């Protein structure tokens, strides 16, 4: 399991359905009718949609003791995003990563029926694993998988949770022999998966929300390469290449897709 395990785009959660009702466009309810927690969620979602990480984190941090799962999983996500800002020191990044997990765990305890709580708990556990080594990552593998599965069971329309489960499968299929040996020492039945299983989830995510994430397109291309289906790999990699670059991750996905297309002899 590599350090890139589930280190995902800061834009991923935008496909999540808020756990606490917010005011949809055209609704008749006025913002002034919302209680402070609901209003904070409305404001937080607006800030998240425009990518204002600093203000979002500062806003949600004021409500860290609210006891509302919708606030807390958003705070976990915002804390994680804040930790990945270029202005954040390595020491602060580590502290924030553990704090994000704490907020996600609190959210899950408050509302285990909210798919977003399961999704962000799994992501944050994986992030913490980057600081605790390969053995800890492997030990948490089933926990991560099971929370992604629960997120999908609670909301089958959240493409990001489906993508993340596909990424879990791909990571397991890529596991080096020495990590597999560690896994065998930890579990009676070590976590395993296949490229075919990963492909199924990536395709499912794409069918739920076509074009929602450049990295899902990239992973489709990479998985088809692993399966020896060059024509299908080229098809999906070219879709990455034609995607607009709206974020740093989009640019990274396009760059990797271009390199893979060159390797396959299909570069434009």
pLDDT tens profile 221-232 = 999 999 999 999
Confidence of residue 176 (pLDDT cuts 50, 70, 90): confident
Share of the chain above pLDDT 70, in %: 87
Gap between the Cα atoms of 253 and 249, Å rounded:
6
pLDDT digits (tens, 9 = 90+) for 17-42: 333 333 333 444 445 578 889 999 99
- Rounded to the nearest 10 degrees, the angle between the axes of helix 53-61 and helix 69-83 is 140
Choose between 267 and 1: higher pLDDT.
267
Gap between the Cα atoms of 200 and 22, Å rounded:
33
Distances (CA, A) of 264 to 199, 206, 214, 229, 236: 19, 23, 19, 11, 13
User: Is 254's pLDDT higher than 70?
Assistant: yes
pTM: 0.86
Residue by residue, what is the 3-state secondary structure of 57-75?
HHHHHCCCCCCCHHHHHHH
Arithmetic mean of pLDDT, 82-100: 96
Arithmetic mean of pLDDT, 141-170: 97
Task: List own/partner pairs for 260-264 with CB under 8 A and 24 or more apart.
Answer: 260/221, 260/222, 260/225, 260/233, 261/234, 261/237, 264/225, 264/230, 264/233, 264/234, 264/237
User: Is 233's pLDDT higher than 80?
Assistant: yes
């Amino acid at each position: 399991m590599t350090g890139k395990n589930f280190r995902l785009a800061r834009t991923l959660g935008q496909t999540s359905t808020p756990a606490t009702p917010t005011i949809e466009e055209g609704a008749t309810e006025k913002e002034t009718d919302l209680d402070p927690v609901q209003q904070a969620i409305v404001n937080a979602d607006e800030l998240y949609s425009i990518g204002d990480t600093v203000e979002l984190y500062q806003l949600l941090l004021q409500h860290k003791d609210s006891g509302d799962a919708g606030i807390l999983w958003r705070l976990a996500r915002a804390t994680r995003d804040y930790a990945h800002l270029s202005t954040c020191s390595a020491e602060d990044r580590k502290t924030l990563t553990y704090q994000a997990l704490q907020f996600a765990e609190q959210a899950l305890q408050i509302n285990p029926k909210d798919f977003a709580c399961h999704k962000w708990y799994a992501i944050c556990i994986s992030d913490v694993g980057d600081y605790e080594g390969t053995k800890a990552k492997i030990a948490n593998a089933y926990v991560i998988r099971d929370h992604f599965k629960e997120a999908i069971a609670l909301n089958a329309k959240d493409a990001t949770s489906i993508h993340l489960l596909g990424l879990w499968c791909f990571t397991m299929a890529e596991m080096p022999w020495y990590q597999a040996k560690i896994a065998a020492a930890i579990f009676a039945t070590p976590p395993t998966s296949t490229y075919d299983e990963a492909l199924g989830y990536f395709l499912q995510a794409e069918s739920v929300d076509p074009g929602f994430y450049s990295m899902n397109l990239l992973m489709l291309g990479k998985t088809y390469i692993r399966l020896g289906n060059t024509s299908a790999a080229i098809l999906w990699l070219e879709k990455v290449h034609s995607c607009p670059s709206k974020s740093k991750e989009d640019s990274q996905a396009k760059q990797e897709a271009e390199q893979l297309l060159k390797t396959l002899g299909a570069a434009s």
